[in-house]
Amino acid sequence: MLPPKRSYSQVKPCFNSGKLHSPEHDRHFDVQDGKLQLYKEKDNPKLHLSINGQNIADWFKQKYQELKQSLRPHIKPLVKPEMTIGNGPKM
């Protein structure tokens, strides 16, 4: 007899500690007691992975920004100068 089918919306979150690799940033990031969960959005049939309730792509971006700030805290993100019509950059 086959076990009953389970949909991914019924999967319970699991808690895990370890390292996750981001191919976008080519780095490993540490996770301590992270709540990992698969979920589906109603309007999108694809499965998504979340860590602590945050989309995994956004979580990686946040961790990468935190890493950059810890390595170079005195450097602020680049801000483009405002342009005025016909006068060049504002000073």
Residue 91 pLDDT grade (very low, low, confident, very high; cuts 50, 70, 90)? low
Residue 82 lies inside a defined structural domain of this protein: no
**pTM of the predicted structure, to 2 decimals:** 0.63
Partners of 40 in the β-ladder:
47
Residue 16 lies inside a defined structural domain of this protein: yes
Buried/exposed code over 60-85 (b: 16+ C-beta within 10 A; e: otherwise): beebeeeeeeeeeeeeeeeeeeeeee
pLDDT tens-digit map of 7-37 = 555 568 889 899 988 888 888 889 998 998 8
Residue 6 pLDDT grade (very low, low, confident, very high; cuts 50, 70, 90)? low
Domain range for residue 24? 8-74
The total number of structural domains that make up the chain: 1
Over range 29-48, report the average pLDDT: 86
Alpha helix ranges (H) inside 42-82: 56-71
In this prediction, residue 19 carries a pLDDT of: 92
Residue 49 lies inside a defined structural domain of this protein: yes
- Write out the E strands in the chain: 14-22, 27-41, 44-51, 54-55, 83-84, 88-89
